[in-house]
Amino acid sequence: MYLFDNLPLDMIKFEIFPYLDWTDRVSVNTCLPPVDRIRTPLARDSGLILAIRIQAARLKKQLLSAESANYLPIKSRRVLKIFRGIEKYRYIIEHHKSFRDMLIQKCKNYSNPENTEYIGTSLHFKKTLMKLTTDFLEVYEMKYPYKYQINAHKEGSWNPIQNRYVAMER
């Protein structure tokens, strides 16, 4: 015998459930028989969208840090740190075409020893960055193949219960 056996399922589904938060919904579902439990699956690619947003926030922080450095050796170290950790941004590379194209173009530029961005930098920086970028260019198609486009930018706030984006109200 379950707690909500005497209450019609339509009443629970349409009159009670919409006003509950996630934890209360889980509690109500445990009080229902397994056949009557109300399931709300996650939207397709919602996990990837979350991973891309986290990676984009980290990458943005690193890029702004490198851009804001006034001292060339510090800027060089920060650029090397970004390219050494490029595998951390796998989902962005695989699911964001414009970022992927921009990254490949940057790697091609940096793999050229005559690049004007190397002016004033150390020989170590130049050799290291050229090696990192050429290594990436050799394996990017096999290791990080482009799959399909995912737009992970925020259009509003994400409501996980209703499984969709809701426009922000002010």
Q: Is residue 71 part of a domain?
A: yes
Of 23-32, 38-47, 57-66, the range with the lowest mean pLDDT is 38-47
Whether 29 and 72 map to the same domain: the answer is no
Whether 34 and 52 map to the same domain: the answer is no
> Degrees (nearest 5) of the Cα angle 65, 66, 72?
130
Whether 50 and 133 map to the same domain: the answer is yes
Rounded CA separation 24/22 (Å): 6
Whether 51 and 106 map to the same domain: the answer is yes
Cα four-point dihedral sign 143, 148, 151, 157: negative
pLDDT at 19: 87
pLDDT at 168 exceeding the cut of 80? no
| Domain of 33, in residue numbers | 1-39
The percent of residues above 90 in pLDDT, for the chain, comes to: 9
Rounded CA separation 118/125 (Å): 8
* pLDDT tens-digit series, residues 98-123: 888 888 998 898 888 888 888 888 88
Whether 58 and 107 map to the same domain: the answer is yes
79 near 63, Cβ under 8 Å? Answer: no
Whether 34 and 50 map to the same domain: the answer is no
Q: Is residue 160 part of a domain?
A: no
Whether 62 and 114 map to the same domain: the answer is yes
* pLDDT tens-digit series, residues 3-41: 677 788 888 888 888 888 888 888 888 888 888 888 877
Q: What is the largest CA-CA distance in the chain?
A: 79
Q: Is residue 148 part of a domain?
A: no
Q: How many domains does the chain have?
A: 2
Q: What is the enclosing helix (H) or strand (E) of 10?
A: helix 9-11
pLDDT at 157 exceeding the cut of 70? no
pLDDT at 132: 92
Q: Which bin fits 120, alpha (ψ -120 to 50), beta or left (φ > 0)? A: left
* pLDDT tens-digit series, residues 116-144: 888 888 889 889 989 999 999 998 888 88
Whether 72 and 129 map to the same domain: the answer is yes
Name the 3-class secondary structure at 169.
Answer: coil
